[in-house]
Amino acid sequence: MKRGPNKLLVVALPPPVLAGLGSAEIGSPTVWLTCGLALVVFVVIVVFVAQRKIARQGARLRDVARRLRQRRVESRAIADRAALMLRRTPAILWTTDHELRFTSSSGAGLAELGLRPIRKRPLAAAEFFGRDDEEFVPIRMHRRALEGRTGTYEHQWHERTFHCHVEPLQDEDGAVIGTVGVALDITDRKRAERALLDEFELLSTTLESIEDAVCTITVDGDIVLLNEVAEKLTGVSHLEAVGCPVADVFRARDANSGEWLEDPFARVLQDGRSLRGEGEWLLVARDGRERSVAHSVAPIKSARGETHGAVLVMRDVTEKRRMHEEILKASKLESLGVLAGGIAHDFNNILTAVLGHISLARLGVEDDETITTLQSAERATLRARDLTHQLMTFSKGGAPLTKAASIGDLLRESASFALSGTCARLDCRIDDGLDTVEADEVQLSRVIHNLVLNAAQAMPKGGIVSIRGRNEYLEPGNPLSLGVGDYVVIDVADQGVGIPREQLVRIFDPYYTTKESGSGLGLAICYSIVRRHGGVITVDSGEGQGTTFRIYLRATRAPVVERSVREEEMDVSDLRVLVIDDEELVRDVLARLLRRMGAEVSCVADGEAGMERYEAAKRTSKPFDAVILDLTIAGGGMGGKETIRRLLRFDPDCRAIVCSGYSNDPVLVDYRNHGFRGRVTKPFRVDDLRRCLTSVVADELEQ
């Protein structure tokens, strides 16, 4: 048995030894030998046990030493790596004491600034920063850290920008003994931010300067960006739109069917495919205004092909669409005019003969019944003339016979006449001081008559037809594409059932009508007349909302000239008149009418013969007092324009009257600048011919 140190150790001896000890005497050699042997054994055992214990303790000490060496190597490696990181990190680290003296500094940022690490001697703030006033931001942030609070700031050092962070430095008891700070070089980041900001500004400027509306949306359909054009189209500001569902801001209908569109962006966001040029939309703004827009929607994809949103681009094509419709209307009217002009001219020649012979017949009878019959025939012929005049409004190249006119009374009279016999009532409001316009009063009266009659027919059970005349100044870039200046605006409105949207685009087409008894020419004539006056006519209507037609005519400052009326017509009985017309019927009736007035008449079929006859009469001292010229000569003969030039070269005092079946021929509009002294439009009454002839012979220009 053994015990720990200082404990009894009992060693078991072999039995023979114990037996010998029992029989030996004390002090005998045997006893001593035995005791010595036991002592030796004891010592050997003690030494053996001690060695084993020492060996175990040595192994443990060697293991501890090995681990200490390993940890020392690892700590040195960590320290070396930390030092390397500090040296290579584009940052500066430092510490200060409680007196704000910089006690240490390190980091690769020092070398970039040309500074050395602080190793031994502390540096005052003035030495480290170059200044030490308390308002200096770094000083203020360090003072803040010494008070136990953190501080963050940006600082410029040697044209480099650093992001600095300062913390309180505390001891084991939590007392602030200084500060510790780190400064990260963010110069490159700042440059990248500035470049990104410049790019953003460039993009923003580009988006604001282009004429297209641009909207960016997220994959959830929420608006992220809205440029200025899009703000104007929708009536919603960028701030209001951001975060809103795009379908709440961009409300659109199909331009052809008028049906509301489902969310057109969902398909792009789901399929990731662009939507381009699939018809036009009618974009409905917040205030209800509708604009025609061309559109495209393209997905925004990442480098991996994932859809993150979409970009909507729209272009306002309202004006382009309106211009296209105007061109199409004009093309249709001009196509009709080619046919209408020729028919009207020939028909007017026939009507001239009919009306002339009726006038001759009236001059030769005294029977009341016959006179009444002839008057009825004359009225019917004049109605036929009005029909040809309507056809002539489509004729290409024609122009109204305009003069400065005050149209207030014309509006009232034309509207009242159109409503006679209907159930509708008139509400006419003409602003005081309504400007004058350059207008053909007959044609403008026809426009008002047609519009008011249409309004009355839209209210078969009665209602109010409202007419308003007012002045308006149009600014540059107005939606009507009219020139800048003063205009007279005429509104004709009814309370009828309105016009369906799909019919609005066709109401000015020739022969288009929804009425069983309509001809389809009324509104086409209105459109043509207004256009030839240099104006614009628009329509605003909807089912159940009534209809308003609006006419814009350029105002003029020219004074209104009242036509002078002669109290007595001159006697033309001794006049010599030359008639040049290719139509035998017209020559015959003119000759008979003039001879009935007492004039001497000579008739020829073309300009060459007329020149010969005029020159011959001049040489014989029996010159013609007046020449009546037809503008258009069939068969290639010399017409009225060439004839008048030759007549005036031969005789500057020649008194010529232009006569044409084209009631709106440009020569008739400006006949005096073409050398004529008067004009008469086929078909004409005998009184019209007499009045024109006497005015020309008296050398009075017709007003």
Determine which of 27-31, 49-53, 307-311, 435-439 has the lowest per-residue pLDDT on average. Answer: 27-31
Q: What is the largest CA-CA distance in the chain?
A: 210
Please tell me which residue, 284 or 339, carries the higher pLDDT value.
284
Determine which of 64-73, 223-232, 233-242, 327-336 has the lowest per-residue pLDDT on average. Answer: 327-336
User: Residue 222: is its pLDDT beyond 80?
Assistant: yes
SS3 letters across 190-205: HHHHHHHHHHHHHHHH
Residue 629 neighbours by CB under 8 Å, 6+ apart:
580, 581, 607, 610, 640, 643, 644, 656, 657, 658, 659, 676
Predicted confidence (pLDDT) per residue in 75-86, tens digit: 777 767 766 666
pLDDT at 589: 86
Please tell me which residue, 582 or 5, carries the higher pLDDT value.
582
SS3 letters across 412-433: HHHHHHHHCCCCEEEEEEECCC
Distance CA 685, CA 669 (A): 20
Which tokens sit at 72? 């020392």
What is the percent of the chain where pLDDT is above 70?
83
pLDDT at 179: 93
Distance CA 658, CA 642 (A): 12
Distance CA 440, CA 529 (A): 9
Predicted confidence (pLDDT) per residue in 341-364, tens digit: 666 667 777 878 787 778 777 777
pLDDT at 118: 80
DSSP characters over 28-50: SHHHHHHHHHHHHHHHHHHHHHH
Are the C-beta atoms of residues 392 and 662 closer than 8 Å to each other?
yes
Predicted confidence (pLDDT) per residue in 184-203, tens digit: 888 888 888 888 888 777 77
User: Residue 6: is its pLDDT beyond 60?
Assistant: no
User: Residue 329: is its pLDDT beyond 50?
Assistant: yes
User: Residue 561: is its pLDDT beyond 70?
Assistant: no
Distance CA 700, CA 693 (A): 10
Report H helices in 108-175.
108-112, 125-129, 137-146
pLDDT at 20: 53
User: What is this structure's pTM?
Assistant: 0.46
User: Residue 401: is its pLDDT beyond 60?
Assistant: yes
Query: Rg of the Cα trace of the chain?
Result: 56
State how far Cα 591 lies from the chain centre. 64
Q: Which of 601, 613, 593 is nearest to 575 (CA)?
A: 601
Distance CA 41, CA 22 (A): 20
Residue 90: DSSP 8-state: S
Inter-CA distances, 337 with 56, 246, 418, Å = 127, 49, 26
Average pLDDT, the chain: 79
Peptide bond into 683 cis (omega under 30): yes
The 3-state DSSP composition of the chain as helix, strand, coil percent (nearest 5) reads 45, 25, 35
pLDDT at 565: 40
User: Residue 4: is its pLDDT beyond 60?
Assistant: no
Distance CA 341, CA 260 (A): 44
Q: Which of 210, 209, 218, 221 is nearest to 250 (CA)?
A: 221
pLDDT at 342: 65
User: Residue 504: is its pLDDT beyond 70?
Assistant: yes
